[in-house]
Structure 1
């Protein structure tokens, strides 16, 4: 399913009308390597995480590098008591992308998007649908075209 993932994501990005650049690079082993390969700071590399709210009810959460989902903040923001991360197979089934390549752009289902408020006001890189592929665009444009719900839903990642 990853073979056409990059094409699907690129088509969705082009159709969105936002200015963006596609970057293709080899395998990376860390956030820092991904950022360097994309010419950005680690905080500008977004992870797109799939979160399960309930049966057949998922959402994407855009999390900047060096941060992680704050489950209490996200639950409070969404007004729910339980959230979970689906296993890799379920994430692929509900998005059309394998973990490490997931993006809301070109997902096989248009799940709602929550973007951490710390991403705004700068260029960021988001997954491009396949390993070693990313798209860089203005975060505010990404938020606008995805109709993302912007909220403080992350905390600094533990460095321990």
Structure 2
């Protein structure tokens, strides 16, 4: 990785062989030769960008029903997945972990959509100039400060 010409300096640098694994370049058939949880880790990483394919592989492969805790932690860290691993779990059901992630995303999307809808409603009410900030806050169960912030941000965008 580095080029050092000085033989004296080279004597202090160990020459270790390092094998790099690229999950994207390993065929699924070659992965079947692995008989440890490394197989599931590599498969998950390989298809983590293709959610449909990942879901198919995880649900079809019985090995994903019981992944070692450490393998689950590696998957979580390397793929940036945000599924929960409870302290007492020795094995992780990756099918359930994916479903939990999907549900969490669904809930977040619903909440964001709801907040956006309330914001649009507040903007429509404000545009009519018929209600005070206090009345709008009472109707929407938001604080007067939040209503004022929505009004300021809308005025700033115009």
Give yes or no for TM over 0.5: no
TM-score in terms of structure 2 length = 0.21
Higher helix proportion: 2
Structure with bigger gyration radius: 2
Higher share in strand: 1
